Amino acid sequence: MKNGFIKVSSACPITDIANIEFNIKNIKNCIDIALKEKSKLIVLPELCITSYTCADLFLQNQLLEHSNKAIEELCSYSKGKDILIAVGAPLLYRTCLYNCAYIIFSGKILGIIPKSYIPNYNEFYEKRWFTQGLNVVNETVDMIFQKDIPFGTDLIFTYNKFKFGFEICEDLWTTIPPSSYLSILGANIIGNLSASNEMVSKADYRRGLVSSQSARCLSSYIYSSSGVFESSTDLLFSGHLLIGENGTILKENSRFQRENEVITSIINIDKLNSERLKNVSFRDSVKYCPFKVREIAFEYNSLDIGKFDRYIDRHPFVPNDEIKREKRCSEIFKIQSSALAKRINHTKINKAVVGISGGLDSTLALLVIIKTFDMLSIPRKNIITITMPGFGTTDRTYSNAVNLCKFLGTDLREINIVDACIQHFKDIGHLAKVHDVTYENVQARERTQILMDIANKECGLLIGTGDLSELALGWCTYNGDHMSMYSVNCSIPKTLVRYLVKYVAEKEVSQNISEILIDILNTPVSPELLPKDKSGKITQKTEDIVGPYELHDFFLYHFMRYGTEPSKILFLAKHAFKEDYSEEVIKKWLYKFIHRFFTQQFKRSALPDGPKVGTVSLSPRGDLRMPSDASSTLWKSF
């Protein structure tokens, strides 16, 4: 409960058509498997108690009576078992037969949901037997062993923040699935009891439906379909099992299995609820619901999920799949360059000015400018690249900066800032041997002054180089490198900057430029504001001071994307980075992240324009409206 996780299962039991005793035995087997996994919900296929393909046998009283007895048996079996069971069976109600989902918990039927839409086209002819349940609301059903059972499409089953809604097969294929209404009325876990036959490519379409519906509903979606032991007279069923969460398929089985099968995954409810809290359009949709829900409360004995085996991405900003990563990098470059092109067109300025340090961020900014100018057919000599050696500039970064600009064909200029900074130290009464924040910021502001003034002199646009990770930590000098006329990297986290530069090095440039880019990638991240050591190497390494960027990007993603509290971020980070960082180290840098994120907001409140690239941005005009003097106390108690 504390961390908002719950284990859920989708299952496909072996069935034998109309052999209810056999079917119940295998349904119990699936439930036992789910319980062993510590799952709290199991979704079984449509009409699995009787089997889906009984056809006119559904009109036989004997089948219906034995189905009801099987439900009673399943209720007895569920006593003392801490799992919500969604199982498919027919229901005869007021002379009409309904295709239903029975929701059972610890010896009791909590509610019965009829199938809203009955398919009667192509290979389906369910209306021969079943009645549409779309408008069934506020009804109750009496069975021999239980009275006043809630019956209708208006049911949500609730335990604290976990809210379960259910629909059946065809419901998902309709223009407005019932789960859409259930979701905006509170359900965040949707189960679908299905019997979807196989045809070429239908599995892809089905998978897409589950993925997209979970995204539209900002929910999890557990899908279970009938298996290969249904009748093959005209159709074949595959037992397709899927578990989705907000557009992502978390778990999927290999279809056409011939044994009882259960797949299990962990759902992050806090993540879903956070998305809903931010999404105003989702909240506003409630006014269009044609009914009010009945919430059926129940209570788990425990939400222990056992082994935490959900995959936690260490680098959530960077796709793991190489093909997807290349596609993402290409897309990002198009966004950055197209945004800069719009600004150039608007200002009618055909020159750009950028400071080049030989580091990652300025390199990425230069590559974006190059791409933009090539796209606009503006000569690369109109790109004024300025390298400004200072007290800490090393031969390695200097030569990389100079050679990169030469090979790319820009207008390279060099302005050494040492003398100007020494004079400024004298002007303000600061000792040059005191290597404090003043010593560092004087250099950063001197460089920005030079860049701004040259931009004015040349009628050029000063392009900012700072990235998203630096903005989150406030690792930039206010009115120094923090400022520019347009910023192209402002929503690119450091972990992604690396892959963008690597992408260009491997895919888009000549061998000599690629070699420079690779060396830049291998250079320690540093502002180079403190003097180099006796051997001429970097002494000031950013990650030694503020912490590893892969940790900070992880913290930032979960903090901003889902509003995750620090205690849960710590929990997730421990699992994601368990092989590389101890809990003490993660806590240390998480505390640093929270402290700096709050204290440095004043810098983000005065950011220059720049394009949003991903789902996380810190722009004061877009994604983050935060007071600069907010207290961080609540977020430090983890």
- Tell me the CATH number at 112: 3.60.110.10
Is residue 353 located within the same domain as residue 451? yes
Mean pLDDT of 627-633: 96
Q: Are strands 162-168 and 155-159 parallel, antiparallel or unpaired?
A: antiparallel
pLDDT for 243 equals 98
Does a structural domain hold residue 406?
yes
DSSP 8-state class, residue 509: S
The answer on whether 56 is annotated among ligand-binding residues is no
pLDDT of 315 above 90 = yes
The answer on whether 357 is annotated among ligand-binding residues is yes
Is residue 266 located within the same domain as residue 332? no
Does a structural domain hold residue 314?
no
Report d(CA 130, CA 466) in Å as an integer.
63
The answer on whether 356 is annotated among ligand-binding residues is yes
Mean pLDDT of 57-75: 97
Residue 103: band (very low, low, confident or very high) from pLDDT cuts 50, 70, 90? very high
The answer on whether 438 is annotated among ligand-binding residues is no
CA 358 to chain centre: 33
Is residue 291 located within the same domain as residue 357? no
The answer on whether 453 is annotated among ligand-binding residues is no
Given a contact cutoff of 8 angstroms between Cβ atoms, the answer to whether 10 and 222 are in contact is yes
Could you tell me the CATH number of the domain that includes residue 437?
3.40.50.620
Q: What is the DSSP string of 69-128?
A: HHHHHHHHHHTT---EEEEEEEEEETTEEEEEEEEEETTEEEEEEE-S----STT--GGG
Is residue 346 located within the same domain as residue 286? no
User: Of 410, 363, 402, 405, nearest to 382 (Cα)?
Assistant: 410
Residues of the chain with pLDDT > 70: what percent? 100
pLDDT for 527 equals 85
pLDDT for 529 equals 84
pLDDT of 442 above 90 = yes
pLDDT of 347 above 90 = yes
The answer on whether 212 is annotated among ligand-binding residues is no
The answer on whether 470 is annotated among ligand-binding residues is yes
| Residues belonging to the active site | 46, 115, 169
Instruction: Residue 632: count other Cβ atoms within 10 Å of its Cβ.
Output: 15
Residue 196: band (very low, low, confident or very high) from pLDDT cuts 50, 70, 90? very high
pLDDT of 42 above 70 = yes
Mean pLDDT of 293-300: 97
pLDDT for 2 equals 63
CA 264 to chain centre: 20
Given a contact cutoff of 8 angstroms between Cβ atoms, the answer to whether 134 and 104 are in contact is no
* 260: containing domain: 5-297
pLDDT for 454 equals 98
Mean pLDDT of 419-425: 97
Report d(CA 59, CA 107) in Å as an integer.
28
Does a structural domain hold residue 386?
yes
Is residue 293 located within the same domain as residue 357? no
Mean pLDDT of 369-390: 98
Is residue 293 located within the same domain as residue 422? no
Does a structural domain hold residue 316?
no
How many independent structural domains does the chain possess?
Answer: 2
DSSP 8-state class, residue 289: -
Report d(CA 22, CA 42) in Å as an integer.
19
pLDDT of 462 above 70 = yes
Is residue 275 located within the same domain as residue 419? no
Mean pLDDT score across all residues of the chain: 96
Is residue 563 located within the same domain as residue 470? yes
Is residue 570 located within the same domain as residue 612? yes
Does a structural domain hold residue 311?
no
pLDDT of 532 above 90 = no
Task: Give per-residue burial for 125-154: e unless 16+ CB within 10 Å, then b.
Answer: ebeebbbbbbebbebebeeeeeeebbbbbb
Task: Give per-residue burial for 178-211: e unless 16+ CB within 10 Å, then b.
Answer: bbbbbbbbbbbbbbbbbbbbbeeeebeebbebbb
Where a domain ends, among 253, 280, 297? 297
Where a domain ends, among 264, 297, 330? 297
Does a structural domain hold residue 306?
no
pLDDT of 31 above 70 = yes
If one compares 500 and 1, the residue with the highest pLDDT of the two is 500
Does a structural domain hold residue 315?
no
pLDDT for 193 equals 98
Residue 19: band (very low, low, confident or very high) from pLDDT cuts 50, 70, 90? very high
Is residue 66 located within the same domain as residue 203? yes
Where a domain ends, among 233, 264, 297? 297
The answer on whether 387 is annotated among ligand-binding residues is no
Residues of the chain with pLDDT > 90: what percent? 92
User: Of 85, 53, 98, nearest to 164 (Cα)?
Assistant: 85
Does a structural domain hold residue 235?
yes
Is residue 265 located within the same domain as residue 331? no
The answer on whether 503 is annotated among ligand-binding residues is no
Q: Please write the tens of the pLDDT for every residue from 209-257.
A: 999 999 999 999 999 999 999 999 999 999 999 999 999 999 999 999 9
Given a contact cutoff of 8 angstroms between Cβ atoms, the answer to whether 566 and 625 are in contact is no
User: Of 100, 82, 81, nearest to 90 (Cα)?
Assistant: 100
The answer on whether 362 is annotated among ligand-binding residues is yes
pLDDT of 1 above 60 = no
Is residue 291 located within the same domain as residue 326? no
Residues listed for the chain: 638
